[in-house]
Amino acid sequence: MNSNKMQKAIQLYNTLSREKEDFSPIDPKEVRIYTCGPTVYDYTHIGNYRAYVFADVLKRMLEYNGLKVNHVMNLTDVDDKTIRNSQKEGKTLKEFTEFYTEKFFEDIKSLNIVPPTKFTKATDNIEAMVELIKKLLKNNLAYKSADGSIYFDIKKFKNYGRLSDLDLEAQKENASGRIKSDEYDKDNVQDFALWKAWDQKDGDVFWDPSTSFGASTKLGKGRPGWHIECSAMSMKFLGEQLDIHTGGVDLIFPHHENEIAQSEGATGKQFVKYWLHNEWVLVDSKKMAKSLNNFYTLRDLINKGINPLAYRFWLLMAHYRTRINFVLGALEGAETALKRLYGLYIGLGGDIGKIDKEYQKKFKERIGDDLDTPRALSLLWDLIKDPDVSATDKKATILDFDKVLGLDFENIKEEEIPEEVKKLVEEREEARRNQDFKKSDVLRDEINTLGYGVKDTPDGQKISKN
């Protein structure tokens, strides 16, 4: 395979340059991707899952193009929210976060998301965070405050604001000059905490680096800030330079901006080559968010009888960089369309032929064009309707596309038709043989009332669920 030619086929929109760029990995043997994972303090809502479905399609697309991918995703299991909520429930931080981590794993499975090469928990990597903070202190980019917390000094990092296109001078300083919380917003662009000194609100959640990880450190009893978690874990498992870093657009500032400052401040090297961000899932034109209480969980959808893959399909119907408005009706529409696709796929019969090269080429072009899933899906419909491609080859080609789309065509089973319906279909067969079309129509109506449709084709009657 000609790898140069292959890689030219892929274009990705880089938030850093605000342009679509040709993709080429730093190391041709392996693409290194880091995805900011969930904060495991509650059920992950379906807006969040856009970020993970997007990262999944990205990874599948790269693999489809013959590239090996090393994908790391973190689990934020220590921050302000996890501590606060575990205390509210009277559980240890570990007990509490492990519960939501399990739920997250169940959800990604039902969305047919391929697990990353590695999941990594923040609490398993405190030492790497401490080491990184020590480097930043040594490089004079961080300082210790009166309460013992360590802050990053953003004025000393000249590229601060490049990713989010911030003009620091234009930002007003707030009174304290520092923000200790993980949850601050764009109006307060200030130094951020790398290490938070323990206070009573943290209860028994703390680490003491001087006793745990060797002496001679300025870091007293405390815990890491959210931003340092991702810099430390991504570099620990993927090295100092990554190919791709993903997350939702709300992470561009401050989280990813801060990751760049921390990582590049420590290594002096470019941290990430391509920054990719998905747009929001909205509800009534507002971001779906826990804080706005306008969210659905995947469980809510399942309880309504909706297949989680219909949500995946609905996401793929839009480009990842466009905002999409979530309404239950639209999702139900997507589910109907997906069922139709599955039905048509089953109708192609049991044999699998050869991948149609023309369609495969077009699919590669579309999906490689910054993951244009809407156009890739329309190609799938074109293929299904194409009279010049045999049923067996269609089947092989759909399974090939599905390596990227992940709609799980491979495991679709024909729905079991109830005995009652089967009997009526047999009777109708006989009525038609006897040219008793009146009876045949009556039987059709009876089949309909049982929730099934019947169609007469040259190969006989075809039954489908209404």
Contact footprint for ligand AMP (CB under 6 A)? 36, 38-39, 47-48, 50-51, 247-248, 250-251, 278, 280-281, 287-289
Q: Which residues pair with 283 in a beta bridge?
A: 286
46 scored as a contact of Zn ion (CB under 5 A): no
Q: Are 401 and 393 in contact (CB under 8 A)?
A: no
If contact means CB under 5 to 8 A according to the sort of partner, which of Zn ion, ligand AMP, none does residue 230 touch?
A: Zn ion
As measured in angstroms, the least distance from the Cβ of 227 to Zn ion is 7
Least distance in Å: CB of 288 to ligand AMP? Answer: 4
By beta carbon distance, the residue nearest ligand AMP is 248
Q: How far is the CB of 287 from ligand AMP (least distance, A)?
A: 5
Answer with the entry of ligand AMP, Zn ion, none that 73 interacts with (C-beta below 5 to 8 A by kind).
none
250 binds, among ligand AMP, Zn ion, none (CB under 5 to 8 A by kind): ligand AMP
Stretch that binds Zn ion, among 29-37, 180-188, 377-385, 393-401 (CB under 5 A): 29-37
**Residue 75 beta carbon to ligand AMP: minimum distance, rounded to whole angstroms:** 10
Q: Which is nearer to ligand AMP, 186 or 340 (CB)?
A: 186
Which tokens is 33 given? Answer: 């991707």
Is 78 a binding residue for Zn ion by CB under 5 A? The answer is no
Q: CA end-to-end span of the chain, whole Å?
A: 46
Extract the tokens encoding 241.
Answer: 């330079």
Report d(CA 265, CA 283) in Å as an integer. 38
Within 167-206, which residues bind Zn ion (CB under 5 A)? Answer: none
Please choose, out of 32-40, 83-91, 169-177, 361-369, the segment that lies near Zn ion by the rule CB under 5 A: 32-40
**Per CB under 5 A, 230 contacts Zn ion:** yes
* DSSP output for 210-249: HHHS-S--S--SEEE-HHHHHHHHHHHHH-S-EEEEEEEG
Reduced to 3 states, what is the DSSP secondary structure of residue 106?
A: helix
Please state the closest distance from residue 259 (CB atom) to ligand AMP, in A: 13
Residue 248: name its binding partner from Zn ion, ligand AMP, none (Cβ under 5 to 8 Å by kind).
ligand AMP
Q: Does 232 bind Zn ion (CB under 5 A)?
A: no
> Are 72 and 388 within 8 A, CB to CB?
no
Q: Which helix (H) or strand (E) segment is 453 a member of? A: strand 452-457
Position 237, amino acid: F
SS3 state of residue 57: helix
Nearer to ligand AMP among residue 55 and residue 197 (C-beta): 55
Q: Which partner from the list ligand AMP, Zn ion, none does 39 bind, CB cut-off 5 to 8 Å by kind? A: ligand AMP
CB of 85 to ligand AMP, least distance (A): 13
Residue 367: helix, strand or coil by DSSP?
Answer: helix
Question: Could you tell me which stretch among 21-29, 34-42, 134-142, 426-434 binds Zn ion (CB under 5 A)?
Answer: 34-42
- Provide the minimum distance between the beta carbon of 116 and Zn ion in the complex, in angstroms, as a whole number: 13
Task: State in angstroms the smallest separation of the CB of 25 from ligand AMP.
Answer: 22
Contact residues for 146 (Cβ-Cβ < 8 A; gap 6+): none
By CB under 5 A, is residue 51 in contact with Zn ion?
A: no
Residue 42 one-letter amino acid? D
Beta carbon of residue 74, minimum distance to ligand AMP (angstroms, whole number)? 10
Distance of closest approach, residue 252 Cβ to ligand AMP, in angstroms: 9
Q: Rule CB under 5 A: say whether 55 interacts with Zn ion.
A: no
CA distance 6 to 4: 5
Q: Please answer whether residues 372 and 319 qualify as being in contact, where contact means their C-beta atoms are separated by less than 8 angstroms.
A: yes
CA 292/CA 295 separation, integer angstroms:
8
Alpha helices by DSSP H, 246-327: 257-267, 298-303, 308-316
**Please, are residues 51 and 104 in contact by the beta-carbon 8 Å criterion?**
no
Tell me which of Zn ion, ligand AMP, none is bound by residue 288, counting a contact when its beta carbon lies within the kind-specific cut-off of 5 to 8 angstroms.
ligand AMP
For Zn ion, which residue of 10, 31, 33, 36 counts as binding (CB under 5 A)? 36
Contacts 24+ apart (CB under 8 A), 426-429: 428/454, 428/461, 429/460, 429/461
Of 230 and 261, CB closest to Zn ion? 230
Angle between helices 80-88 and 93-110 (to 10 degrees): 110
**Residues of the shown chain interacting with Zn ion in the complex, contacts defined by CB under 5 A:** 36, 230
